[in-house]
Amino acid sequence: MSLSRAISLTVNGAVVSAVVEGATHLADFLREQRDLTGTHLGCEHGVCGACTVLIDGEPARSCITLAAACDGADVRTVEGLDDDPVTTRLRAAFKIDHGLQCGYCTPGMLVTARDIVRRLPQADEARSASNSAATYVAAPVTPVSSAPSGGCWQTRRRWWKRHEPPWHPK
Ligand code: FES
């Protein structure tokens, strides 16, 4: 008995039909079968948020979402947000305020930040962080400050070390 399954979904506005193994994650499907390598894999445990995409308009971690479960869904990756005006503004803000850091998790941060901006346009940094779709990928939104409240914990630690806050042990 085969565990393969035929699925049909919309990816970045295009209808896609494919056969996937039952255990194939959406991130692997997008990267390997659709060549959408803008979706990055970090922890692969649903913790870091680097793999965040939109499924039916909601941010979701594609590393813990089965492709087979997306049959009939509308999936949008960071590539599919190229012409999105909010994402365009966020990209510019990330650039101006050095929000890119190493850049690896940036696709997930952009998708998550866009969701926060759309749902909570008046959110400050604390509210943005507490409402992020992922624990560590909590992109600063309004305004994007120079102190990273988003990004991976290594980046935040490096930033705080460099700026030597009074409570940091010498
Ligand atoms: S790679 Fe999916 S949450 Fe980390």
Whole-angstrom Cα distance, residue 26 to residue 53?
A: 9
- Residue to mutate (ligand 1; options 26, 28, 47; most atoms within 8 A of CB): 47
Nearest ligand 1 atom to the CA of 46 is: 3
Q: Where does the chain hold its CATH 3.10.20.30 domain(s)? A: 4-80
Q: Looking at the predicted structure, is the pLDDT value of residue 79 above 70?
A: yes
Residue 29 CA to its chain's centroid (Å): 16
Assigned CATH class of 4-80? alpha beta
The pLDDT-based confidence of 130 (bands split at 50, 70, 90) is low
pTM above 0.85, yes or no: no
The pLDDT-based confidence of 166 (bands split at 50, 70, 90) is very low
Position with higher pLDDT, 101 vs 23: 23
The pLDDT-based confidence of 2 (bands split at 50, 70, 90) is low
Q: Looking at the predicted structure, is the pLDDT value of residue 9 above 90?
A: yes
CA atoms within 13 A on the CB side of 118: 13
Residues with CB under 6 A from ligand 1: 41-44, 46-51, 61, 63
Q: 52 C-alpha vs ligand 1 centroid, how far in Å?
A: 7
Position with higher pLDDT, 127 vs 38: 38
Q: 23 C-alpha vs ligand 1 centroid, how far in Å?
A: 16
